[in-house]
Amino acid sequence: MYRRTSRGLLALIIIIIIIIVAGVYLYYAQSSNPNIQTVINNSTNQSLANNTSIGNNSTNVTSATTISIQNMTFNPNKITIGSGTNIQWINNDNAQHQIVSDTGAFQSNILNPGDSYNFFFAKTGIYGYHDALNPTITGTIIVQ
């Protein structure tokens, strides 16, 4: 009787250890991903979104670049950057805008005048995007 109880207890302890190790692994795997996109609403100065971007787990951000939305255009509307670059779009226009990747790789919330949107480009490629509220406004980001 004692052996049967001790085997059951040992099995239970092993299962609990496995669950703890798996939980710790998942926690660190998710929290170590620096590929984060955020939308900043300047009128309330708070984060509206915090989602994982595309790419690898590189922690080296090589630079940051700003794209202005003004006079119903992206300026610049075509840009070449290195992987590991953060792009910040700032709505300097008098209208609302929403940045959307042509392939679904990223999408901002609706940006009111003064709001900004950031996206970290960790993976090389060509990223076409447009304004969902004004589809004739387009841009291209080439990541090398």
What confidence tens digit (pLDDT) does each residue in 98-144 have?
Answer: 999 999 999 999 999 999 999 999 999 999 999 999 999 999 999 99
Q: Are residues 93 and 132 in the same domain?
A: yes
Query: How many Å apart are CA 93 and CA 58, to the nearest integer?
Result: 33
CA-based nearest residue to 50, from 119, 3, 1 = 119
Q: How confident is the model at residue 4, as a pLDDT?
A: 63
What pLDDT, in 10s, does the model give residues 7-41?
A: 778 888 888 888 887 666 655 554 444 443 444 44
What pLDDT, in 10s, does the model give residues 47-100?
A: 333 333 333 333 333 467 999 999 999 999 999 999 999 999 999 999 999 999
Identify the CATH number of the domain in which residue 127 sits.
Answer: 2.60.40.420
Q: Is 89 left (phi over 0), alpha (psi -120 to 50) or beta?
A: beta
Domain span including residue 102: 36-143
Q: Are residues 87 and 139 in the same domain?
A: yes
* Residue 5 pLDDT exceeds 50: yes
Structure tokens at 39: 């939308």
Q: How confident is the model at residue 7, as a pLDDT?
A: 78
Which helix (DSSP H) or strand (DSSP E) does residue 18 occupy? helix 2-31
Q: Are residues 24 and 94 in the same domain?
A: no
Q: Is this model's pTM higher than 0.85 or not?
A: no
- Give the β-pairing of 99-101 and 125-131: antiparallel
| Residue 64, beta-bridge partner list | 86
CB 128 within 8 A of CB 102: yes
* Residue 46 pLDDT exceeds 70: no
DSSP state of 1: -
Q: Are residues 40 and 28 in the same domain?
A: no
Q: Are residues 50 and 4 in the same domain?
A: no
Q: Are residues 70 and 101 in the same domain?
A: yes
Structure tokens at 122: 């960790």
Q: Are residues 2 and 69 in the same domain?
A: no
Looking at the structure of the chain, the number of domains it has is: 2
CB 63 within 8 A of CB 120: no
